[in-house]
Amino acid sequence: MKKNIFIRIVDFYVEGFKSMQVGKKLWLIILIKLFIFFVLMKMFFFPNELKTKYKDDEGRSNHVLEQLINK
């Protein structure tokens, strides 16, 4: 019996990942990199300045206006 299209797509990816050689190492690098970027860097070093300091767009507008006219 022919498998459902979605199951075939999932099988395609699963078999693809299983048969990888150099790809496994590359995926490990990608995952470590994404962890460093999104978890460590983004959380601890790269907060969105305006979103963190101001709760709405009006506050952000006012801040930038102040910067534009007072710098």
Partner 1 sequence: MIENLDPSLVDWSRYQFALTAIYHWIFVPLTLGLAFIIAIMETIYVKTGDPEWKRITKFWMTLFGVNFAIGVATGIILEFEFGTNWSNYSWFVGDIFGAPLAIEGIMAFFMESTFIAIMFFGWNKVSKKFHLAASWLTAIGANLSALWILVANAWMQNPVGTTFNPVTARNEMTSFWDVALSSTAINKFLHTITQGYILGAVFVIGVSCWFLLKKREVLFAKRSIIVAAAFGLIFSLVVIGTGDSSAKDVAKYQPMKFAAMEGLKKGSEGQSIVAFGILKEFGEEKNVDFHFKLEIPKMLSFLSDYDFNSFVPGIDDIIEGNEEHGLMPAQEKIERGKVAIDALRALNTAKQNNDTEKLNELIAMFQDKDFKENYFKYFGYGYFTNTKDLIPNVPLVFYSFHIMVILGSFFVIMFALFLYMGIKNKIKNQRWLFYVGIISIPLVYVASQTGWIVAEVGRQPWVIQNLMPVKVAVSQVSTTTVQTTFWLFATIFTGLLIAELRIMFKQIKIGPKEGK
Q: Which residues bind partner 1 (CB under 8 A)?
A: 12-13, 15-17, 19-20, 22-23, 25-27, 29-30, 33-34, 36-38, 41-42, 45-51, 57, 60-61, 64-71
Residues 38 and 46: their CA atoms lie apart, in Å, by 9
b/e for 20-38, b at 16 or more Cβ within 10 A?
A: eeeeeeeeeeeeeeeeeee
Contact 60, 54 (CB under 8 A): yes
Token code pair at residue 41:
């860097």
Closest CB to partner 1 among 5 and 15?
Answer: 15
**CB 8 → partner 1: shortest distance, Å?**
10
**CB 1 → partner 1: shortest distance, Å?**
19
Closest CB to partner 1 among 1 and 71?
Answer: 71
